[in-house]
Amino acid sequence: MAAIANENIEKARALLAEGRNKQASRALTDAAVACRDEDTAREIKAIAEEGITGAGFLGKSQWKEVLRLAALRGAK
């Protein structure tokens, strides 16, 4: 599970750098679902917070879901 989470985190970073926010939030959602580690959850949260700042009104809900899942996994 950790490998899947880490793979999706890297994928989300690359997509976010390319400006593909919707795909990045999906990859990060997959990472958050596979995550079982608090440190990884904090990393997911940090990336999601970065993504939500550049999101439009409608796109923010996708990032909020990532933040919710990261919080469930122990991100503080």
Domain count, the chain: 1
Domain residues for the domain of 12 are: 2-72
CA atoms within 13 A on the CB side of 64: 6
**With 0-12 CB in 10 A as exposed, 13-18 as middle and 19+ as buried, what is 56?**
exposed
Helix residue ranges per DSSP H, 18-59: 21-34, 38-53
List Cβ neighbours of 16 (8 Å cut-off, separation of 6 or more): 24, 47, 50, 51
Quote the pTM value.
Answer: 0.89
pLDDT in tens, 13-71: 999 999 999 999 999 999 999 998 899 999 999 999 999 988 888 789 999 999 999 99
76: pLDDT strictly greater than 80: no
Q: What is the pLDDT of residue 17?
A: 95
Q: What is the pLDDT of residue 73?
A: 85
